Amino acid sequence: MPRPPDPELEKRILDAAKKLWKKGGEETLTMRAVAKAAGTNTPSVYRRFRDRDDILRAMLQSFRLEMAGAMEGAESPEEGSQRYLDYAVSHPHEYELFFQKEYELFYSPRSIRAGVKLVDRPTQESMRRLIATKVGGPPDKHEGLLMALWMIVHGAAMLIIAKEIPLKDVGEARRVFTRTVAALLRDARGS
């Protein structure tokens, strides 16, 4: 009699892949390593995930939801920006997946030809609502401001993660970041 399918296997595979990614990034993430870390075999991984990119897509979406959870409850775009930066800096390997792989996995012509479904970006939706509440108008009216905030928070995150800002100066860099976000929002309210 065949063994019944394991309903938790997909979650174990994804959890194992996340641990491998956190430990060593892209180099550590092979289908064989994922299978071993999940306590299964490689064919079982391939039955649930078409290829490594499929695992990366699932991880990226999971990390997006984690980041959205970290931003949940923010009452202003300033606080949302701070929470985004905090998540990125405290999860550098996860954030690496965003800036290195998101386009390739979801938006590249190859992915689109392969029929990859585009997924929501919950942090953007959250920030759109916060900006609209602060500045006024409908959430989709402030795409330029949303992009400017994202560029600032992403730049700050990357500089801190890459240790381009010496550790002794990170506190001051965060204060500059906070003042910059506030100034951008003040300017948007005034225009």
Closest CA to 70 of 90, 55, 42: 90
Q: What is the per-residue pLDDT across 26-39, written as a single tens digit (0 to 9) for each?
A: 888 999 999 999 99
Q: What share of the chain is helix, strand, coil (3-state, %, to 5)?
A: 80, 0, 20
pTM of the model: 0.84
Q: What is the per-residue pLDDT across 33-58, written as a single tens digit (0 to 9) for each?
A: 999 999 999 999 999 999 999 999 89
Our measurement of the distance from residue 117's CA atom to the centroid of its chain's CA atoms, rounded to an integer in Å, reads 17
Closest CA to 105 of 119, 91, 122, 125: 119
